[in-house]
């Protein structure tokens, strides 16, 4: 007598597995997105804190993020988990006398007052990544 599974039994098992995967996969993907966003918010908070400490200690803002690393306010340049890069941050200079923040132009030496993600798109809460 042969022992084994019939084709119907195998198809039922595969259908149950497929059903479970369709239930679990969206939750898993949402959790990884939430984790990336949490890391991004944490990296932004730590970098902004380092900028503030640098300003408090030295009376001026850093020229770039690399200066924060060289002065040991950060161990390394933070990585934007959405873009996967550490060299694509959007840097803004200190507010001008009119009160509007001055964006740091590429290639121009300007002080770093704030940092934002340069990732396109929106987070799970609907706000743009570059507004965080």
pLDDT at position 130? 92
- Whole-structure pTM value: 0.73
Mean pLDDT, residues 36-50 taken together = 97
In the prediction, which pLDDT does 123 show?
93
Q: What is the pLDDT of residue 107?
A: 45
d(CA 90, CA 132) in angstroms, rounded, equals: 11
Q: How many CB atoms lie within 10 A of CB 39?
A: 15
Output 15 or 102, whichever has higher pLDDT. 15
**Per-residue pLDDT for 18 more than 70?**
yes
Please give the pLDDT value at position 108: 45
The mean pLDDT value for 36-43 works out to: 96
Kindly report, residue by residue over 85-103, the tens digit of the pLDDT: 999 999 999 887 765 555 5
What's the whole-number mean pLDDT along residues 57-77? 95
pLDDT of residue 105: 44
**Percentage of the chain modeled with pLDDT above 90:** 73
Does pLDDT of 52 surpass 60? yes
Q: Is the pLDDT of residue 60 over 60?
A: yes
- Provide the mean pLDDT of the chain: 89
């Amino acid at each position: 007598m042969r022992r084994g599974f019939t084709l119907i039994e195998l198809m039922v098992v595969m259908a149950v597995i497929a059903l479970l995967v369709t239930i679990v996969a969206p939750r898993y993907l949402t959790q990884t997105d939430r984790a990336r966003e949490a890391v991004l918010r944490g990296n932004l908070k730590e970098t902004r804190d380092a900028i503030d400490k640098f300003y408090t200690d030295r009376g001026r803002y850093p020229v770039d993020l690399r200066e924060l690393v060289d002065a040991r306010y950060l161990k390394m340049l933070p990585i934007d988990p959405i873009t996967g890069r550490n060299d694509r941050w959007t840097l803004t200079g200190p507010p001008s006398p009119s009160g509007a923040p001055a964006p740091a132009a590429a290639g121009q030496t300007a002080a770093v007052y704030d940092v934002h993600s340069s990732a396109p798109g929106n987070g799970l809460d609907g706000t743009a990544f570059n507004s965080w």
